[in-house]
Amino acid sequence: QVTLVESGGGLVQAGGSLRLSCAASGRTSSTYGMGWFRQAPGQEREFVAAISWNGGSTYYADSVKGRFTITRDNAKNTVYVQMSSLKPEDTAVYYCGAGNYGSLARGYAAYWGQGTQVTVSS
């Protein structure tokens, strides 16, 4: 069992930056791929970014490529996403997920966090 807790969400102006954190707990949490997903009101949850268990591979949705950076610190069992040049369309609840790295990019995670709200004002 892996428990994920997101933090760092909030309100930011367009063009600003924000860093989200996801703290994982569980005996084998450091062996999972980790990912970030988001869900805007009235829309389905979508993939944002994923990172392999050792941080050696990353993958991004086209909509955030070049603006978001996913990293992880296995010593702290934490994964981060640094979000820059934020746009109003980035407004959503952001979720952390853990699972197979290849599956994360297809939207499948074995474990999910509760989410953190990110609001980008224009």
Backbone conformation region of residue 8, classed left if phi is above 0, alpha if psi is from -120 to 50, else beta: left
61-78 pLDDT, tens per residue?
999 999 999 999 999 999
Q: Where are the alpha helices (DSSP H) in the chain?
A: 101-104
DSSP conformational letter for 66: T
93-122 pLDDT, tens per residue?
999 999 999 999 888 999 999 999 999 999
Please name which of 36, 39, 43, 80 lies closest in space to residue 61, comparing C-alpha atoms.
Answer: 36
| Number of neighbours of residue 45 by Cβ within 10 angstroms | 18
- Mean pLDDT for the chain overall: 95
User: What pLDDT, on the 0 to 100 scale, is given for residue 23?
Assistant: 96
Dmax over Cα atoms in the chain, in whole Å? 42
Which amino acid makes up residue 72?
R
Please name which of 97, 83, 107, 112 lies closest in space to residue 33, comparing C-alpha atoms.
Answer: 97
User: What pLDDT, on the 0 to 100 scale, is given for residue 29?
Assistant: 65
